[in-house]
Structure formats: C-alpha cells, structure tokens
Amino acid sequence: MKIIAINGSPRKGKNTAIMLQEALNAAENLGAATQLLELSDYKLNYCTGCNSCLRHNTCSQTDDDNQLIHEKLLAADGILLGSPCYFGNVSALMKNFIDRSRPLHMVASALKGKVGGALTHAGLRNGGQEYTLEILQRYLISQGLILADGFEPFSGENRFLATTGVMGTMYKGIEEGKIKYYRSVTEDTIAMSSCRLLGENMVRLIEKLS
C-alpha cells in the first residue's frame, strides 16, 4: 500500500508540510509506504488550454515534470493533498497541479477508486480554511477518489466531530487584548491529532476497499 502526499505550499518543510508528514507518519505506523512530494521541487508549466487531453490521456507539454508527477499518482493507492489558504483559495502551485492533471480525467478517470484526503492551513482562525478544503475535496471527488475522514475533537469534551479534512491555524487566542499566534502548527494539538487520524483512516479505507 502506498500513499503519496502533495504539498502545494511554496514553503518547503513548513506548516503544510508538517501536517502532511504527520498524516504520513501515522499511515506508516499502520504499514503503508509513503512519500511527501513538494511541488516547489518540480517544474510545472501552466496549462495552455490546448485541449489535447480531450482526445489523449497524456499532456501535449513534455518539457516539464508533469508526467513524472502523474506516474507517482497512478502508482499510489492513496493521495493526500495539502495547501495553505491564500485569499480563501489554494496556492498557485496547487492550482497549477490541479489544472495540469486534466489528462488523468478527460478521456478516462485514471485515479478513480483511489482514496483521497485533504488538509489546509491558514494564519487566521477564520482564514478561509473551509473554502480551501472544499476546493481540494471537490477536486478529489471530480477525479473519482473516495474521501477518507479526519476527526477533530471538541475542546473539553470526550467525543469527536467527523469531518472530511483537516484545518490548521496559527491563531492561538487573545491574551491581554492582543492576538497571540502559535510559532508552529505543531502547537495546534487539534490539527496535529486530526492529521494523524486522517492518515490512519486513509490506510483503513484503502484496506477496506481492497
């Protein structure tokens, strides 16, 4: 079983990457092979709208790393997407990745039946995470993936709220009239716990579907 995580943040190794790696670590603990792919490490041209992918399952552009990324997606059983929230949307890197994946869907749904997961991170408490998460999830569903759940515990209560993704924030709270921020998403215990559960649930869903 293999799960690949795609980091759409231009900031390698930072909050979005940390969240993705936390989910992957949890999946590894259950026996999955994992890989974290940083989009910033790859050359991806912009989609030109040539519509060649309406007739062929490959992209007309061959001078970048798009085909290499697609091969990794096709070889995976689970695909986990992560993006920071920029103006209530995914990053430009993630959007470009989404646009260039049309050849995987237009002729035939090459990723159909795989397990998907999504997570996002923003600086503010209500920073548009819900919209960003919805964009990632709608994309995965449109590609035919089956979404795994993450779980976010209610603060102070011994029960869980099922969600279909994970949202992190740098917002810590108000102290003496001033906004306080986490130094890292690792301090956001709810987000980190949800990442681990998402990784575990991706493994369990892959096992159940197989």
E strands, 100-159, are 115-122, 146-147, 150-153
CA distance 194 to 186: 12
CA distance 55 to 91: 29
**Two structure tokens written together for 95:** 């959007």
* Contact call for residues 84 and 8 (beta carbons, < 8 A): yes
Residue 154 has pLDDT above 60, yes or no: no
Residue 204 has pLDDT above 90, yes or no: yes
Residue 152 has pLDDT above 70, yes or no: no
The CA dihedral of 53, 57, 59, 64, to the nearest 10 degrees, is 160
Place of tokens 């709270």: 173
Domain definitions of the chain by residue range: 2-209
Classify domain 2-209 at the CATH topology level. Rossmann fold (3.40.50)
Taking only the tens place, the pLDDT of each residue in 61-116 is: 999 999 999 999 999 999 999 999 999 999 999 999 999 999 999 999 999 999 99
Mean pLDDT value across residues 19-35: 97
* Contact call for residues 68 and 42 (beta carbons, < 8 A): yes
Averaged pLDDT score across all residues of the chain: 91
Burial of 15 (0-12, 13-18, 19+ CB in 10 A): buried
Q: What is the pLDDT of residue 181?
A: 86
CA distance 30 to 199: 9
CA distance 14 to 17: 5
Q: What is the pLDDT of residue 49?
A: 93
Question: Sorting pLDDT into bands at 50, 70 and 90, what band is 127?
Answer: confident
Question: Of residues 160 and 147, which shows the higher confidence score?
Answer: 147
CB-based contacts of 45, cutoff 8 Å, min separation 6: 61, 63, 64, 66, 100
Residue 50 vs residues 42, 60, 188: alpha-carbon distances, Å: 22, 8, 43
Q: What percent of the chain has pLDDT over 70?
A: 93
Residue 138 has pLDDT above 90, yes or no: yes
* Contact call for residues 81 and 109 (beta carbons, < 8 A): no
Question: Sorting pLDDT into bands at 50, 70 and 90, what band is 125?
Answer: confident
